[in-house]
Structure 1
Amino acid sequence: MSGRSATAEPAPGAEILAAGTVCWRRVRASDGGERVMVLLIHRTKQRDVSFPKGKLDPGESMPQAAVRETREETGLSVSLGVNLGTIQYALSGGRSKTVQYWAAEVTAATALASTFTPNGEVQALEWVPVEEARRRLSYRADRELYDVFLGLAEHGLLETFSVTLLRHAKAEPRSAAFPEDRARPLRPSGEEQAETLVPILEAFGPRRILSSTATRCLATVAPLAEHLGKRVREKEELSQDFWDAGDLDPLRRTVGKLVAKARSAIVCSHRPVLPDLARELTLATGSVPGRYIEEAAALPPAGFSVFHFSRLRPGAGILGVETYPLQH
């Protein structure tokens, strides 16, 4: 699926884009065990029960909107987990609405930091047991989407991490001014892409940033690293020069370590290297190979694909892939 932006005022017959989350947390049960609780919101004007969601702001991506709307409606600052799919329905005036949802884990600290107070949009928040939430939802489309979430919960796959494969932004071509490939800088448009990527990639809660040693890759992730206050881990094996030499063992070891750590990471590399990175992710997690892997690695400059895995059972394979060909 791809990231999309909204216009300021939808025209008659236009598609309205929105995004939201199914927030969940684990709490201690009375018997000493744990149980999964799901967050429902009671909207004031509509008098219904649903999930946090809202329309995209102009120029905003779906992931950005999901995180922002969740924070605005619930006071919870979350990162996105597995994509649960989309809901589409008709509106008056020949318009339609598409809402994309993600699972979002809420830690105890995040729940305690919530700034929610009842307001004109959301009357109340309610945490309910995972098995009870479905019947409380007001709309059939929400219940059908929730079935996807329930499937993950039933198989113990709610706790997830992601590995994002990112192609560097637009770079200057090789020329007399830039004879060395690894030293080519970003174009001005590429620098703008790097800045645009920051809030979109941040939505997935990256804990680590890895990059090829090439200037264009380092410059692509530099704004994100600065924003998050994180160090960029430079990896020679992610560079095109290293890949051209034909030794893939270091690349395989790097991917294996990423999977073993089970922490969300961003990996910035080059067009020829990305298919091998995607293949190694597939092998390291026992995932089913297929054309979807090739498609996820065929990225334009500044495009990226987010691979989701179980944090507790990475060997369960790829739980989902979402691809964003950054439009700029």
Structure 2
Amino acid sequence: MSRDILAAGTVCWRRVPKPGGGSRVMVLLIHRTKQKDVSFPKGKLDPGESMPEAAVRETREETGLSVALGSHLGTIHYDLAGGNTKTVQYWAAEVSAEAALASTFTPNGEVQALEWVPVEAARRRLSYRADRELYDVFLRLAEHDLLETFSVTLLRHAKAEPRGEAYPTDHLRPLAATGLAQAATLAPILAAFGPRRILSSTATRCLETVAPLASSLGKRVRPKEALSQDHWDEGDLTDLRALVGKAVSRGRNAVLCSHRPVLPDLVRELILATGSLPGGYVDKAAALPPGGFSVFHLSRTRPGAGILGVETYPLKH
């Protein structure tokens, strides 16, 4: 029986100084040992692993580079021997100077060499048409100076205990056993996007949802009343607008954990804060099940470009 093999990877890039001043974009290509080809870091998902997790892990294993995911570049499909198919998702991934120096790569049985090449030269070096077509998406971002990005992730809290005799006060309801498992599952997926700040509603169920993520990253959670459902019920969005505006102006990867009724207004405030056009993606990005999240990618250097892309993950239970 044929099957679809899932994989994920990255197009790693960095800015390096030019001798005469300024900088240029360099892209990382890998030379694989057995296949004797030139491509990008990628690999198959481990059992139970998500695409974002796999992209970061495979990049680290093949190149020795620790990266966070930037803009989603798309998905490619191709046929394999035996009637199987392969589906690969890719993200852009900026490599800092510190990460490049910390690389632990040595030639091995899988990858024999790493090569940094100018952005304009990489396409013709790639061995496969599917990789070249994917790289065209990356090139369009580079041509419009939209490679340097940050993300704002809107997260709905995980499954909570129902309100009742045991938990009569809504904002004190904890996560159910299912919700605790969801929170543990979420931590490595959200970590793949490199959050620098974790903001949460003051409700117990939200704080417990982001606790595993904060622990894994060694970061503190910043409780924000503006993200709570109780505050939203009062009908004044002034504080919510200020919070989203500050998150955007900082230009740093952030996770905002909130509640189902608040999410549509969070998305709308994000659209307003970035001057983006509204559209059907708004409803989809806000219609999240417990533990679901949407990642909004924004330009650090061209804030007027608005939302560059949205990835929505309805966490599977």
3-state SS, counterpart of residue 319 of structure 1: strand
Q: What is the CA distance between 1:120 and its match in structure 2?
A: 0.5
Q: Distance in 2 between matches of 1:289 and 1:265?
A: 22
Matches within 5 A, 1:144-163: 144-163=133-152
**Counterpart amino acid of 1:230?**
K
Structure-2 separation of matches of 1:314 and 1:185: 38
Give the letter for the 1:267 counterpart. Answer: L
Shift in Å, 1:142: 0.4
1:294 Cα deviation from its structure 2 partner: 1.0
Deviation beyond 4 Å, 4+ runs, structure 1:
none
Q: CA RMSD in A?
A: 0.6
Give the Cα–Cα distance (whole angstroms) in 2 for the partners of residues 137 and 58 of structure 1: 29
Shift of 1:288: 1.2
C-alpha displacement of 1:236 = 0.6
Aligned to 2:65: 76
Q: CA deviation at 1:90?
A: 1.1
Structure 1: distance between partners of 2:219 and 2:63 = 27
Aligned partner of 1:203 in structure 2 is: 192
Which residues in structure 2 correspond to 1:172-321 (within 5 Å)?
Answer: 172-321=161-310
Matched to 1:132, the amino acid is A
Pick the aligned partner of 1:129 from 87, 108, 118: 118
**What residue is the counterpart of 2:108 in the other structure?**
119
Structure 1 Cα separation of the partners of residues 87 and 243 of structure 2:
38
Shift of 1:93: 2.1
Query: Amino acid of the residue matched to residue 119 of structure 1?
Result: N
Measure, in 2, the Cα distance between the counterparts of 1:161 and 1:309.
5
Cα deviations by residue, 1:267-296 (Å, 9 ceiling, x for unpaired): 000000001000110111011110111101
- Please, what TM-score do these two structures have when normalized by structure 1? 0.96
Provide the secondary structure at the position in 1 that maps to 2:315: coil
- For residues 229 and 315 of structure 1, what CA distance do their matches in structure 2 show? 33
Q: Which amino acid aligns with 2:118?
A: P
Secondary structure in structure 2 of the residue aligned to 1:109:
helix
1:13-42 Cα offsets, whole Å, 9 max, x none, are: 111000000000000112122000000000
Tell me the distance in 2 between the aligned counterparts of 1:312 and 1:191. Answer: 38
**Residue 8 of structure 1 aligns with which residue?**
none
Give the structure 2 partner of residue 9 of structure 1: none
Q: Match for 1:235: what amino acid? A: K
Residue 312 of structure 1 deviates from its aligned partner by: 1.2
Q: Find the aligned partners of 1:230 and 1:216 in 2 and give their Cα distance.
A: 18
Partner Cα separation in structure 2 for residue 230 and residue 82 of structure 1: 24
Q: Distance in 1 between matches of 2:106 and 2:215?
A: 32
Superposition TM-score, scaled by structure 2 size:
0.99
Q: 2: distance between equivalents of 1:30 and 1:212?
A: 49
CA distance, structure 2, for counterparts of residue 122 and residue 92 of structure 1: 22
Amino acid at match of 2:81: S
